[in-house]
Amino acid sequence: ILIEELINSPEKLKLGGEKKEITILFSDIAGFTSISEKLTPEELVSLLNEYLTEMTNIILKNNGLVDKYIGDAIMCFWGAPLDNKNHAIDACTSAIEMQNKLEELRSIWKEKYGVEVVARIGINTAKCVVGNMGSSDRFDYTAMGDGVNLASRLEGINKSYGTYIMISEFLKEKINSKFIAREIDTVRVKGKNNGVKIFELVNYKNKISKKELEKIKEFELALKHYKKQEFAKAK
């Protein structure tokens, strides 16, 4: 579909951008430096290619565009260059499927390579500049802006909270009909002046157990007490 659009509109193959609402996802393997030190170069390349293939297949299946690979990290987004009104839903679907696939492959890779592969994901919805950026002779189609930076920060912030899929309040309001997300905190990430509510993407609404739902509600009640500085009740 993308190739057809470029054939029909060759003017799109030039430097320049437009502002569009998109959903951006960053993923990264936890402790990748330690993993790389345990493997031979050949083993590392083999594992990385297997991992990136599996994750990329899921992103593409759910209408995503893989922007770039940065070592073990993946940057991708939904909603450009092709319009997609379900960009937020598709991104969250991909994140859950990526974690489920890793759950399947973790023991296989542990036996094959002797290392455990765990990935963290950050997702945000925002208006960003998307388009061809680079030099006049060599350029990439990519996304830029504050919203992209926030998605990247959300990926890294998982480490502080022991979570694996962190999303912003801006994304959360677009997926309430399909997914359950647990409010975690309000943070001011690097480069932002105002606090942003962050949520853990837990699961599809129709796949969450009653026990998990009760646990989330209990946590959210504790969070309300915490915000009121009622620390004994929160505990």
**Cα distance between residue 32 and residue 38, in whole Å:** 10
Which of 96, 16, 12, 28 has the alpha carbon at shortest distance from 62?
A: 96
Angle at 115 between CA 110 and CA 119, to 5 degrees: 95
Rounded to an integer, the average pLDDT of 71-94 is 95
Q: Are 33 and 154 in contact (CB under 8 A)?
A: no
CA–CA–CA angle 63, 22, 206 (5° rounding): 60
The length of the chain in residues reads 235
Which one has a higher pLDDT value, 5 or 43? Answer: 43
pLDDT of residue 2: 58
3-state secondary structure 91-147: HHHHHHHHHHHHHHHHHHHHHHHCCCCCEEEEEEEEEEEEEEEECCCCEEEEEECHH
Instruction: Report pTM.
Output: 0.91
Distance CA 109, CA 55 (A): 15
Q: Rounded to 5 degrees, what are φ and ψ at 190? A: -55, 130
Q: Is the pLDDT of residue 161 over 90?
A: yes
Residue pLDDT, tens place only, 103-149:
999 999 999 999 999 999 999 999 999 988 777 777 788 899 999 99
Q: At residue 15, does pLDDT exceed 60? A: no
Q: Stretch 223-235: mean pLDDT, rounded? A: 95
In 3-state terms, the chain is what percent helix, strand and coil (to 5)? 50, 30, 20
For residue 179, which of 221, 119, 125 has the smallest C-alpha distance? 125
Q: Which long-range contacts (CB under 8 A, 24 or more apart) does 175-182 make?
A: 175/88, 175/89, 175/92, 177/205, 178/89, 178/92, 178/204, 178/205, 179/92, 179/203, 179/204, 179/205, 180/204, 180/205, 180/208, 180/213, 180/216, 182/216, 182/219, 182/220
- Name the percent of the chain lying above pLDDT 90: 81
In sequence order, what are the beta bridge partners of 122? 26, 166
CB 199 within 8 A of CB 184: yes
